[in-house]
Chain A
Amino acid sequence: MEGGRPPLDRAMLDRMAEWCEEIARDAGSGAEVELFLQESRGLQVRVFSGGVEDLRYSHGRGLGIRVVKEGRLGYAYTTDCRWEGVRRAAEEAIRNSRYSDPDEHNFIPHPRQVDLEDLGIYHPQLLEWDASRKVEMALELERLTLAADPRVRKVEAASYADGVSEVFLANSRGFRGSYLSGHCYCYVFPIAEEDGEAQTGFSFDAAVKPEDLDLGKVAREASDMAVSQLGARSHPSFRAVVVLDRMVAAEFVGFLAAALNAEAVLKGRSFLVGREGEQVAAPLVTVVDDGLLRGGLGSYPFDDEGVPSCRKELIEDGVLRGFLHNSYTASRAGTASTGNASRISFREPPRVGASNIFLAPRKGDRDELVRQVGEGIFINQLIGVHAGANPVTGEISLGATGRRIRNGELAEPLREITLAGSALDFLRQVVMVGEDLVFLPFEGSLGAPSLAVEGVMISGKG
């Protein structure tokens, strides 16, 4: 684990290519086979009250086998990556394919030229730095957060985590490829207390190199958020212009990504079904998915079935231009894959997923947007995104915390409020897009700047 960049295991790729051929022979004529192997290693440390609460080394590998025969898809995975284990899994995958219904759009893609330009998605420092140095970063983050404001009495958790992953892909059509990627992040949850009341804050940073993590900024942002929420109350219901913090806006981009997924669209599970070419958002809104973004946490040279990555505008000046595709959805829709085949791990066949998806930045930072809005609500945290935002219907009903905006400035803190409406209305009512783009490294690589939306229904009491 120590000692820098692990060598890419060429021998493994050769072995996998041989296995593919052997499994394809076993599966019978016309069968296509794909092997996906992922080896990951990482370190995660969480500190509390000046000491290490837990520290976890992870190092695991596993292999997934996709068999397509006569359009029938079978899949199996194993953590036993020796031939005996792989062969057993292959038998399962072949057997499983017999029990699936045929679909002409199931196929393993032909190999295409992959551009091997350096995407800046790996740095040896991730593995070179030893554990004690990373532990020290988490402890430092906790100290800085506590020092940021006297009202920050505790830090619920401060954490440093990294992961390095090596992907190997081979298929019976001749594709062979592998790459190494990795990133690290840190985050902190402070608790601010005053007069028996407690409020939480949060912030994070992510990078490819541990030394690029800005601990001071994370500590400041998180403690500011906790402290600013002290004394929060609900607010009477009204229609308001809201300014979304960029982290909140990025969560909204995540919700949008689910609806821009061609699989969801083809299967009628997206509120964007049948709206290609339509003005679905204000002209200020451009949404981009870019798998080649340098240093992007969602960047990769080829996707999880070997199709090269690319950059595309999904929503351009408010007009819906297209969706995220893998080979299967592209074949069904009569278009080309956008290189967005994605799997959470070797445990599942490739589905569709965004790479780095973001709302293209325009002008101004948060304070500028707040100034221009004048009267309204600033939202710094959404509660219940998984439950209260439905990508099928586009209906949104979320809990939130934030601040009242008065005279172009952030005023009293708010809690126990909800914002509700339809996603399409939100998109069309965007009145300002900031320039302060940030990427959330959780559940994908989701980016957005601060954002202002008018006519949003805010509910509360009082």
Chain B
Amino acid sequence: MVDEEILFQVIAEVGRKGADFCDVFVEERTTYQLRLEEGRVQENVSGAERGAGIRVLVGETAAYAYTNSLERESLLEAAKAAAAAARSGKGGSFSLGGPRRLSSPLHHPVLEEPDSVEREFKLDLVSRVDRSARAAGTRVSQVVVILGEGRQRVLVANSLGELAEDERTRVRIVAQVVARKGKEAQTGTESPGILGGYELFRSHTPEEIGRKAAEQALIMLEARQAPTGPMPVVIANATGGVLFHEACGHGLEADAVYKGASVFAGRLGERVASPLVFAYDDATLPQRWGSFRFDDEGVPATRTPLIEEGVLVGYINDRKRAMRDGVTATGNGRRQSYRYLPIPRMTNTFIAAGSARPEDIIADTALGLYAKKLGGGEVNPVTGDFIFSVTEGYMIRGGRLAEPVRGATLIGNGPKVLRDIDAVADDLDFDTGMCGKDGQLVPVTTGQPTLRVRELVVGGTTEVI
């Protein structure tokens, strides 16, 4: 990809100008995307991209410059720009360590390399998803299927002399279905993804992907308006994990904690959740969408306990925050590409399985909302206030699932919800997503078992429960 010796020469050059730390991130990425819509393959896009970013840390200041060229001259020029910018900080020095290649025991296999899979097979995959969605009901009016694959090779060299390499192949398919009844429209989405290859479709058949997305839209077409007001909410496994991700996970990222812009700042060792809650961030999970061997700063992937028995036990950080706080780097320094600075980010973040059975939790709920599928959400990390849309929801009446409801949102406060969790089931599952922060998108999974929150405000449009 690039002459490693040049990278260390560039770092040494920065060292002569004075800095606490310096690293170079080199990336090469190829992508391919296939888009089927209206029953036709409308787009076939491939891309090839390469670049390198140089970061210089001086005190609290991080300066960054990147280039599309991996030539020695360009790298030196970027290094000069970053070093000059960082000098507005307080000086500093490092002595470049002897080069040392890091190894990791982790292995995320790619069983069916994208390059070895025929184009015809990929075309067939997307049309199978399309056909199965359309076969689910005559009201299915639109189906969009996007198949995306990418291979990213990264190399990180730093002023400690460390050199780490990672290669990440990812495949994901997104099926979006619109169903219509008169002028009414409802949508459904399925989006499995993998750190791996086309073996993804062994566990998720195209037929199942299309059918699930369609069924969600069709059911919601029959739904009545969601009621409004406070009530118990049972959140189903897998997609429900997005709530923990947004409402709590972001508040556990060390940059927010440091700035006091988190409700969890300064609360390590305190009880912040119901004793039923155990939560982790784990980039080592085999083949999960948010996994890797090394993070984008060359730190090995780690399983980081966040909450155990309701007690806050850890934050997730990157090198900059770990060095400042004098703690171990948790391997969460991630970036969208060579164009960005690494920042603390979640990987696969989840609430661990409990011991209840999901059906018992529902049976034990007299009147409430069953949020089977959550859409996106937003949270104010300073206050912990959040909102989530329920894309597939049902009323629970007399301990049974009743009619579907639509247009519901969940509105509440992260720490309060954590305390109000009063049942956790044994059916942990995951869902994939792209998480945005500071203008950067990275692949993440969210996960949780079925659980119940004693009381949440449901924002709907009707006053009648």
Contacts and interface: CB of A to CB of B under 8 A. Distances in A.
A78 interface: yes
A384 B388 CA distance: 7
Contacts of B463: 237
A384 B51 contact: no
Interface in B109-154: 119, 123, 141-142, 144
Contacts of A399: 378, 385-387, 409, 411, 459
B162 to A, nearest CB: 22
A292 B120 CA distance: 45
A54 B387 contact: no
A198 B411 CA distance: 18
Interface stretch (B35-43, B286-294, B358-366, B424-432): B35-43
B45 A349 contact: yes
B445 to A, nearest CB: 18
B461 A268 contact: no
B63 A418 contact: no
B51 A99 contact: no
A395 B141 CA distance: 18
Interface in B13-59: 34, 37-38, 40-51, 59
Contacts of A79: 48-51, 68
Interface stretch (B184-192, B272-280, B344-352): B184-192
A198 B383 contact: yes
A97 interface: yes
B457 A234 contact: yes
Nearest to A198: B382
Nearest to A415: B385
Interface in A336-352: 347-349
Interface in A37-89: 48-49, 51-62, 73-80, 85, 88-89
Contacts of B42: 73, 100-101, 103
Interface in A192-245: 198-200, 234, 237
A73 B45 CA distance: 9
B259 A420 contact: no
B60 A51 contact: yes
B89 A52 contact: yes
A383 interface: yes
Nearest to B180: A268
B193 to A, nearest CB: 19
Contacts of A131: 85
B341 A461 contact: no
Interface stretch (A17-25, A303-311, A366-374, A386-394): A386-394
A383 B459 CA distance: 13
Interface in A148-164: 154, 156-157
Nearest to A1: B81
A268 B178 contact: yes
Task: Report which residue of A51, A385, A416 has the largest number of chain B beta carbons within 10 angstroms of its beta carbon.
Answer: A416
B460 A420 contact: yes
B156 interface: no
A55 B61 contact: yes
B389 A100 contact: no
Contacts of A61: 68
Nearest to A393: B185
B61 A51 contact: yes
B264 to A, nearest CB: 13
Contacts, number: 243
Contacts of B178: 268-269, 392
Interface in A107-145: 131-132, 135
A105 B190 CA distance: 29
A52 B50 CA distance: 28
Interface in B53-93: 59-68, 78, 81-82, 85-86, 88-89
Nearest to A386: B376
A457 interface: yes
A437 to B, nearest CB: 26
Interface in B228-267: 228-230, 259-261
Interface residues of B, number: 79
B47 A388 contact: no
Contacts of B383: 198-200, 415
Contacts of A101: 40-42
Contacts of A348: 45
A99 B44 contact: yes
B37 to A, nearest CB: 6
A191 interface: yes
Contact of B260 (A96, A154, A157): A154
A401 B386 CA distance: 11
Contacts of A59: 65-67
A93 B48 CA distance: 12
A178 interface: no
Contact of A390 (B60, B187, B458): B187
A363 to B, nearest CB: 31
Contacts of A268: 141-142, 178, 180, 185
A459 B385 contact: no
A97 to B, nearest CB: 7
A393 B408 contact: no
A421 interface: yes
B44 A420 contact: no
A365 interface: no
A92 interface: yes
B187 A392 contact: yes
Which of A48, A96, A384 lies at the interface centre, i.e. has the most chain B CB atoms within 10 A of its CB? A384
A446 interface: no
Contacts of B185: 268, 271, 392-393
A418 B38 CA distance: 35
Nearest to B320: A54
A100 B377 contact: no
B186 A388 contact: no
Contact of B261 (A55, A85, A191): A191
Contact of A54 (B63, B260, B386, B408): B63
A237 B457 CA distance: 11
A416 to B, nearest CB: 6
A415 B411 CA distance: 10
Interface in A391-414: 392-393, 395, 397-399, 401
Contact of B230 (A75, A349, A461): A461
A60 B66 contact: yes
A48 B49 CA distance: 33
A77 B48 contact: yes
B415 interface: no
A444 interface: no
Interface in A259-280: 267-269, 271, 274
B376 A384 contact: yes
A418 B409 contact: yes
A56 B68 contact: no
A89 B229 CA distance: 55
Interface of B: 34, 37-38, 40-51, 59-68, 78, 81-82, 85-86, 88-89, 119, 123, 141-142, 144, 178, 180, 183-187, 228-230, 259-261, 339-341, 375-380, 382-383, 385-389, 406-409, 411-413, 457-461, 463
20 contacts: A1-B81, A51-B60, A53-B61, A55-B64, A57-B78, A57-B82, A59-B65, A60-B51, A99-B34, A99-B119, A100-B41, A101-B41, A135-B88, A237-B229, A347-B47, A349-B45, A392-B187, A397-B408, A399-B459, A420-B460
Given A52-B88, A78-B49, 4 more contacts: A75-B44, A132-B88, A156-B382, A459-B459
Interface of A: 1, 48-49, 51-62, 73-80, 85, 88-89, 92-93, 96-97, 99-101, 103, 131-132, 135, 154, 156-157, 189, 191, 198-200, 234, 237, 267-269, 271, 274, 347-349, 383-388, 390, 392-393, 395, 397-399, 401, 415-421, 457, 459-461
Counting from the closest, the 10 A-B pairs by CB-CB distance are A418-B459, A399-B387, A387-B376, A96-B44, A101-B40, A384-B387, A459-B228, A57-B65, A54-B62, A384-B378
